[in-house]
Amino acid sequence: GESVGLHLPTLSVQEGDNSIINCAYSNSASDYFIWYKQESGKGPQFIIDIRSNMDKRQGQRVTVLLNKTVKHLSLQIAATQPGDSAVYFCAETPAPRRNQGGKLIFGQGTELSVKP
Amino acid sequence: EAGVAQSPRYKIIEKRQSVAFWCNPISGHATLYWYQQILGQGPKLLIQFQNNGVVDDSQLPKDRFSAERLKGVDSTLKIQPAKLEDSAVYLCASSRNPTGDAIYFGEGSWLTVV
């Protein structure tokens, strides 16, 4: 079935280094993607989104890259800080949102651990 | 701007009992979602409302789960009777509309069924 998956379940980086979290999606018709950060005991926190008509979008210390050719999404975090430690999920809409109402499908998540 | 509010934050019940969760979305958000998140997994959509109408409830176990959004604002999710496998976090989320807007989540209601 359709799924959004992550290549690595855990990622450990040194404070100050850049982090790259990867995600593969299976539905080429997906047109909207969101990255979420989830800290222990909290709900998913919106980080950044990107639409399928773009291949890159930047936020504060974060960049999302979308490669539709290979159906790959990545989240880059610059100068990773201890506060960035969390589970990161990518989520996709499997069909045009105007028909599906914005339903998101989540992957299992990547746990990012930042070492001081 | 206030975020998505949920209550209760934590609930422990015995199997076969009932439980209800409440959600107040971000002001002005017409679309409301309930997701279930089992420990170690990503959230899974249970039901989606547009105003007070159901858009998608294909993943909702209707024999035991029900949800309503009568006035198009607040929503309640009920489980009756609860099973052990219902132990999870129940996340409410909202977006301004279903086409092209970000979806924001509440902190979740943590359910343990014993």
pLDDT tens figures, B22-67: 999 999 999 999 999 998 889 999 999 999 899 899 999 999 999 9
Q: Looking at the 3D structure of chain A, how many domains does it have? A: 1
Residues of chain A with confidence (pLDDT) below 50: 1-3, 6-7
Band the pLDDT of B99: cuts 50, 70, 90: low
Average pLDDT on B55-84 reads 95
- A83 has a chain B CB within 8 A of its CB: no
pLDDT given at position A80: 97
Instruction: Report chain B residues whose CB lies below 8 A from the CB of A105.
Output: 45
Report whether pLDDT(B100) > 90. no
Closest Cα of chain A to B95: distance in Å? 9
Determine the Cα–Cα distance for residues A116 and A31; give it in Å rounded to an integer.
Answer: 37
Q: Report the residue from B45, B99, B103 with minimal CB separation from A34.
A: B103
Domain that holds residue A65: 4-115
**Token pair for A34:** 């969101």
- B100 has a chain A CB within 8 A of its CB: yes
- B74 has a chain A CB within 8 A of its CB: no
Closest Cα of chain B to A23: distance in Å? 13
Average pLDDT on B65-89 reads 96
**In this structure, are residues A94 and A109 in contact, taking their beta carbons and an 8 Å threshold?**
no
Length of chain B: 114
The superfamily CATH assigns to domain B5-113 is Immunoglobulins (2.60.40.10)
Closest Cα of chain A to B39: distance in Å? 10
Dihedral sign for Cα A55, A68, B45, A77, please.
negative
**Token pair for A11:** 């990622």
Instruction: Report chain A residues whose CB lies below 8 A from the CB of B56.
Output: 100-101, 103
Domain boundaries, chain B: 5-113
Any idea what the CATH number is for the domain that residue A24 is in? 2.60.40.10
pLDDT above 90: percentage of residues in chain B = 84
- A107 has a chain B CB within 8 A of its CB: yes
Burial class (CB in 10 A: 0-12, 13-18, 19+), A16: exposed
Average pLDDT on B92-109 reads 88
